[in-house]
Amino acid sequence: MIVIGIETSCDETGIGIISDKKILSNVVASQEDIHSVYGGVVPELASRAHLSRIDNIFKIAIEKSGIKIEDIDLIGVTNHPGLKGSLLVGVSFACGLAYKLKKPIYFVNHLYSHIAVNFLNENIEFPALGLVISGGHTSFFYIENYINFKEIGKTLDDACGETFDKVGRILGLSFPGGPYIEKEAEKGDEKKIRFPVPSNLKDLNFSFSGLKTAVLYYVKKYGKENISDICASFQKTIVDYLCMKIKTSLKKYNVKSFLLGGGVISNQYIQRRIREILKDEVKVYIPEKNLCLDNGVMVAVMSYYLNKYGIPADENRIKVIPTK
């Protein structure tokens, strides 16, 4: 079964091709160069960039995979959540492909895909808990099996990655701030500054905006001379908070596995800390770095499982009006 996954929900144009659970190609065009001057993703520019790049990314993904276009059995595309204009580009492209090839298409949830990429080459024991920590979302899921996900908590304000990016901007770092903060933090002392841990610890929702404001006030008062200490202390506070929430989730739900996903979990320090608190509790799954960040393979994997467990494919919504 050859599955192509198409991802354009934010600022990465990603196309991935898998053969059952083997990755044949994974091509991602990032738009960091376009958005970095604005310090955040500009939706209009993102959709235009997807439009001008998607044909080429598709060609490269096919070439790298070694298959012919006609070999594709199944098409998956992210259709929510995300930036509407950006999603539209991927969905239109996927519908056109499905129409041309006369193959089934699945419209896939972006957050489920971030979790599902852990299913590659693994036999997961269910039930499981999932945590997606990305630029646009921070959400807990109770996962019954490969296709049933229930959101059981989410951020009430900023997402975790968004907080990294906004703090990066406060500190004058490049966009997206996450990887730059991780790098700076390696040189800093994480105990130097005590930022407040957000206080709602009993439920599974998150709130990050207070922490972002605390960093802003710190920088206004003391400046950013000790940028490495600020980054290390901020990063530690974020992980302390994530770890407390993860512990709460394990008290509420009896599970066998814990699946992580999303761009923020590519951070090595965060991975280490989370693995540490989970090591005697459940089996932990974290995708490799390029599969944590937005990509098409994760969409292909989710679609593969929807098909495998008999979920009917979505209708191809492109209708061709015959010309006279």
| 294 near Zn ion, rule: CB under 5 A | yes
Question: If DSSP codes are grouped into helix, strand and coil, which group holds residue 75?
Answer: strand
The structure tokens listed for 68 are 């012919």
Query: According to CB under 6 A, which one of 113, 134, 138, 249 is a site residue for ligand KG4?
Result: 134
188 lies in the site for ligand KG4, by CB under 6 A:
no
Helix, strand and coil percent figures for the chain, each rounded to 5: 45, 20, 35
Q: Which of residues 135-154 bind ligand KG4 (CB under 6 A)?
A: 135-136
Indicate whether 182 belongs to the interface with ligand KG4 (CB under 6 A). Answer: yes
- Separation CA 17–CA 37 (nearest Å): 32
Residue 243: its H or E element: helix 227-252
> Which residue of 13, 134, 155, 228 would you call a contact of Zn ion, by CB under 5 A?
134
| Distinct helix (H) and strand (E) counts, the chain | 11, 10
Q: How many residues bind ligand KG4 (CB under 6 A)?
A: 20
Does 266 engage in binding with Zn ion (CB under 5 A)?
no
Distance CA 27, CA 162 (A): 24
CB of 125 to ligand KG4, least distance (A): 25
Distance of closest approach, residue 109 Cβ to ligand KG4, in angstroms: 12
Per CB under 5 A, the segment of 92-100, 126-134, 176-184, 197-205 that binds Zn ion is 126-134
Q: Rule CB under 6 A: is residue 264 a binding residue for ligand KG4?
A: yes
| Sign (positive or negative) of CA dihedral 212, 217, 222, 223 | positive
Question: Which stretches of the chain bind ligand KG4, using CB under 6 A?
Answer: 10, 134-136, 161-162, 164-165, 176-179, 182, 262-264, 266-267, 293-294
